[in-house]
Amino acid sequence: MLKPPSWGFFVIKKSSMIRNMSKHKARAALLLITIMIVGGIGNGNLVPKTRAQTDDLSDLRAEESNAKEQREDLETRLAELEREIAEQEKQVQTYQKQGTSLKSEINTLNSNIKKLNLQIKAVEITISKVNLNIIETQKQINKTENKIDLHKEALGKALQAIDESDQEGFMELLLAHEKFSDFFNAINNIALVQENLRAQLKEIVVLRGDLLSQKEELALKKEDNENLKRGQEVQKQTVSLTQKEKEKLLTTTKGKESEYQKLLQKSKETAAQIRSRIFQLLGGGELTFEKAYEYARLAEKATNVRAAFILAILNQESNFGKNVGQCKYNDIHPKTGVTVMRPSDISIFENILERLGIDKNSRSAYVSCPIVRDGSYGGAMGPAQFIPSTWKLYEKEVSRVTGSNPANPWSNADAFAATALYLKESLNSTTCKNYSNEDPSNKQLLLERCAAAQYYSGKRWYTYRWVYGEPVAQKAKRFQNDINILNG
């Protein structure tokens, strides 16, 4: 017959239980404190702020306020410059309407020089805005990276504490508490900790997604910065060339109207000369102006986008520094360390090649290269430089216009049609219509400036109005004069 345990047993066991209870309470406290720290990172409500943290927050708010003031100042200066540019544009049009005289030509050249210099100042302000955005985006990246590091550190400690608690059995945990209510509270605390840990793990996933988006945004802003600087250099060169053109005109004519009229007749191109002129395509390759106009006219009939504007788009980017048609889509670029083409476009691109029967390793499948200095992807295809995911949106409509099935981004006819379809959407967009309403007297100019900038940079179009949109719109005017001669 078993003897009942002695009272000494209960005394010893009780002492052990108290020690275990203290240990479990300490662990539970550690777990709860850890969760408070982790939660406090996200919302700032659970952890009291130290004086240093309060000072840092005050400094951050002061920086944000200062950055806001800088942006507002830049916007005000930019708006004023744009009003001056619009006035100069009207002045140019006034002089052009006065007829082809030496005086009107000199006045036009002078106004164009003034307008270009104003545009250079506008681009300078835009560069300042982009630089401000780069600084702010980099701060956001640093902040997100710090959040991730803090979450990871706190989670590591919490997981370690849970692992240690898991080493003890259920009965030991039960005996560590004098009351069942304390035991169930401990169980609930552990369950709460585990649930909070899951929530924090999800938060880390979200933060990593934010970090990726912020880094992509930073790369785009750096690309904008470089493109604006290059565009500004082109503007300065154009000012210099226009100045030299004026000086040459005055020297050649000796300031005499009769000499100017002789020069004007001599310099006019004939229709035959215009037809045989070489037209450089933005995605590489060339054809005669006559053939290019034929493709543009076909696209114009299908979309009502004027041929001169289509030609200006497809002739512009090759002069804007794009590194076109030199890379294999799936190569790892030695300087960027990533594939030439954005990963999300690769399967779409391979499907395009398969349907067209093009060997993915052939030169026919080459695409634009990444811009190494700012970390952006390459992967644009053919004369119109569409990326695969964008081409996919238009290929059925392209087939309807040209009869190609499937549509081919490396075909000139299909590329012209795709360009016109894209421009049609931009010209009819609320964004471009609202922009054109800023100067109703120059509605078409502003519409085309906006659509051209969208063609080049999508949602970032406003940044590219002067370095890309405006040169395209002006080139469209010159092409329209050529077309008028061909059709005259």
At 306-326, the pLDDT tens digits run 999 999 999 865 444 455 668
Q: How many CB atoms lie within 10 A of CB 171?
A: 8
Quick one: the chain helix, strand, coil %, rounded to 5? 75, 5, 20
Q: For residues 103 and 328, what is the distance between their CA atoms, to the nearest angstrom?
A: 54
* Structural domain total, the chain: 3
> What is the rounded distance in angstroms from the CA atom of residue 311 to the CA atom of residue 419?
10
In-domain check, residue 1: no
Cβ atoms of 407 and 399 within 8 Å: the answer is: yes
Same domain, 165 and 106: yes
Strand partners, 287: 279
The 10s digit of each residue's pLDDT in 222-252 is 989 999 999 999 999 999 999 999 999 999 9
**Full residue range of the structural domain in which residue 191 is found:** 11-253
In a domain, 260, yes or no: no
- In terms of domains, do 407 and 477 share one? yes
In terms of domains, do 125 and 225 share one? yes
Look up the pTM and report it.
0.76
Indicate if 172 and 221 belong to the same structural domain: yes
Q: What distance in Å separates the CA atoms of residue 251 and residue 244, rounded to the nearest whole number?
A: 10
Q: Is residue 419 a contact partner of residue 401, using CB atoms and an 8 Å limit? A: no
* pLDDT score, position 154: 76
What is the pLDDT averaged over residues 182-211? 74
Least confident of 22-36, 282-296, 405-419: 22-36
Residues β-bridged to residue 386: 381
Mean pLDDT is lowest, of 202-216, 308-322, 333-347, 366-380, for 308-322
Q: 413, 383, 384: which is closest to 400 by C-alpha? A: 413
User: Comparing C-alpha atoms, which of 304, 302, 303, 277 is closest to residue 292?
Assistant: 277
Same domain for 421 and 478, yes or no, is: yes
Surface-to-core class of residue 379, CB atoms within 10 Å of its CB (0-12 exposed, 13-18 middle, 19+ buried): buried
Pull the structure tokens for residue 293: 């106009």
Q: ∠ at Cα 377 (335, 451), nearest 5°?
A: 145
Is 135 found in the same domain as 23? yes
The residue among 390 and 3 whose pLDDT is bigger is: 390
> Among 379, 402, 425, which residue terminates a domain?
379
Question: What is the percentage of the chain residues whose pLDDT exceeds 70?
Answer: 77
Q: How confident is the model at residue 182, as a pLDDT?
A: 57
Residue 324 is encoded by which pair of tokens? 């076109």
* Structure confidence by residue, pLDDT tens digits, 182-194: 555 655 666 666 6
Q: Are residues 307 and 348 in the same domain?
A: no
Mean of pLDDT over the chain: 83
78, 206: one domain:
yes
Confidence check: pLDDT of 21 > 50: no
How does pLDDT run across 392-442, given as a tens digit for each residue? 999 999 999 999 999 999 999 999 999 999 999 999 999 999 999 999 999
The secondary structure element, H or E, covering residue 288 is strand 286-288
Q: Is residue 258 part of a domain?
A: no
- Indicate which CATH number applies to the domain containing 464: 1.10.530
**373 within domain boundaries:** yes
